[in-house]
Structure 1
Amino acid sequence: MLSKCKDGCGPGRRDPGENRSAKGTHVSYLLRVQLPDRPGSLGALAVALGSVGADILSLDVVERGDGFAIDDLVVDVEPGALPDTLITAAEHLPDVLVDSIRPYAGILDTHRELELIDSVATARNDRLQVLVDGAPRVLRVGWCVVADIGKHGAYRVVGSAGAPETHATDIPWMPLDKPTALDGEADWVPDVWREMNTSLAAAPLGSGNRVLMLGRPGGPEFRPSEIARLGYLAGIVATVLG
């Protein structure tokens, strides 16, 4: 995670806690970027984004591979700034590829998982609802649901505010024994989910039939590290729920 910058912030990076005279007038985007895993790459990217008026507010390392890194960057831009401008600036650098870009309205913090687990543990009512309401922010997805299997098949137990109105009622992969990325084009996926090019992932929520399912309309696809992160979170929450 990226800690708050102090006096030495470089170009294109600003202290997330800094008071702005135009507070509330900026727009934030979440960029998923693949860049070379070598010294100076992130600094060069920060300069490139800064050259088009973007400030990096936070950074998460999603995955590291052989000579490359996948990073999620939340950037702040002036209203009216075109997302294509950010893509062009980033991809002007050698070996840099923008995997996805989408509006971001989440809360910037460095202990998202811990805060969500604490919220679920201390909730007085409907802890599953607390879980699905907080998971999209923590895992940076569009929506989250808890599904279970009843006598008439699979059904949605609870869903986040952004969960689609159309439910998946025939889920052949349930029950689930490990966290996994799901095929968003499979026959069980509702048409409206497919039309929105929704990337899907799920993890078992305890030892029963319940699963925690994530949806990311428009992508990107879930990386192996994200699937592992989902599994860890679901496992800890299942223990908290008892």
Structure 2
Amino acid sequence: MVLVSYLLRVVLPDRPGALGAVASAIGEAGGDIVGVDVVEHRSDGSAVDDLLVDLPTGRLLDSLVTACRSVDDVTVEFIGHYSPGGHLHRDLEAVEAMTTDPKNADTILVDLIPGVFRSGWSLLVSLDGGRVRVERAAGGAPETDGYLAPWMPMGKPTRIVTDAWAPESWTDVVAVGAPLEVPERAIILGRDGGPRILDSELARLSHLADLVTVIRQSTHLQQSSAHGESEGQHAGGTGTA
């Protein structure tokens, strides 16, 4: 049996049993939930969850939407194909990966963002002669290199407006960015066609970008400390010779 993976973003009541009811309805429709991530808890008593669902080929995609809507007070914000072999990752997994190789924490984060934020792409960009230079891209990011982008330099977390600067590959893109160490360098999270990027997701991206700086700086401090100790031992040995 061949399975197709879909990403569903659902809004449901933030109360015990609501997710279980959705899972049961999806199961009755033939879907198998293989990943769940709580994206946001809202002040109105609702929650936003991302569900990674496998559906056998031949089953109608609309059946998943109908199943979710059969549960009281549940709506589907987005549904779309999820890349084969894709997985949902949590922010902590990204941090753990970055700390294993601190010097490359920035590129590691770019590679992991499509999994952390689900069905998206990412870019690590910097300014070069006033134009955007792409240092690294992941998840099928659109053409960006060499363009004059009004969102760079980036002094704070920013929602990127795809106006006159953007090439055709940015059509229907939703994207946000966060500065990485300096305003002339930034990490971009984007999605083609949705789902929309929530304020909570932008805050998480900014936090992860800040952690890149902390992790990389800690490496420099450790190296400086080790170098200082080495020099001190060398000096001490010379003095007692």
TM-score above 0.5? yes
- Secondary structure of the residue aligned to 1:213 is strand
**Does structure 2 conserve the Cα–Cα contact (< 8 Å) formed by 1:206 and 1:239?**
no
Indicate the residue corresponding to 2:152 in structure 1: 174
| Aligned counterparts of 1:168 and 1:198: Cα–Cα separation in 2 | 18
Query: For 1:189, which of 156, 163, 166 is the aligned residue?
Result: 166
CA shift, 1:108, in A, is: 4.5
Judging by fraction of residues, say which structure has more helix.
2
Indicate the residue corresponding to 1:238 in structure 2: 213
Number of residue pairs the alignment of both structures matches:
214
TM-score normalised to structure 2 length: 0.79
Q: Does 1:49 align with 2:26?
A: yes
Q: Which runs of 5+ in 1 are unaligned?
A: 1-21
| Aligned counterparts of 1:213 and 1:168: Cα–Cα separation in 2 | 15
CA shift, 1:157, in A, is: 1.6
Indicate the residue corresponding to 1:84 in structure 2: 62
| Aligned counterparts of 1:26 and 1:97: Cα–Cα separation in 2 | 24
| Aligned counterparts of 1:80 and 1:125: Cα–Cα separation in 2 | 47
Q: Does 1:203 align with 2:181?
A: no
Question: Match for 1:203: what amino acid?
Answer: A
| Aligned counterparts of 2:146 and 2:177: Cα–Cα separation in 1 | 13
Structure with higher Rg: it is 2
- Secondary structure of the residue aligned to 1:228 is helix
Q: Does 1:99 align with 2:77?
A: yes
Mark the CA change 1:126 to 1:69 in structure 2 (over 3 Å): closer, same or farther: closer
- Secondary structure of the residue aligned to 1:169 is coil
CA RMSD of aligned residues (A): 2.2
| Aligned counterparts of 2:25 and 2:49: Cα–Cα separation in 1 | 15
Indicate the residue corresponding to 2:8 in structure 1: 31
Question: Match for 2:72: what amino acid?
Answer: P
- Secondary structure of the residue aligned to 1:210 is strand
| Aligned counterparts of 1:238 and 1:68: Cα–Cα separation in 2 | 34
TM-score normalised to structure 1 length: 0.79
**Does structure 1 conserve the Cα–Cα contact (< 8 Å) formed by 2:124 and 2:135?**
yes
Cα offsets for 1:3-61 (capped at 9, x unmatched):
xxxxxxxxxxxxxxxxxxx6xx3222111001122333212211211111112222211
Q: How does 1:5-154 map to 2 (within 5 A)?
A: 25-65=2-42, 66-104=44-82, 105-108=85-88, 112-123=90-101, 127-154=105-132
Cα offsets for 1:181-225 (capped at 9, x unmatched):
322x3222222211xx11101111113411000110010111111
CA shift, 1:126, in A, is: 5.4
Q: Which runs of 5+ in 2 are unaligned?
A: 218-241
Q: Percent identity?
A: 43
Indicate the residue corresponding to 1:217 in structure 2: 192
| Aligned counterparts of 1:108 and 1:164: Cα–Cα separation in 2 | 22
| Aligned counterparts of 2:146 and 2:10: Cα–Cα separation in 1 | 31
**Does structure 1 conserve the Cα–Cα contact (< 8 Å) formed by 2:122 and 2:189?**
yes
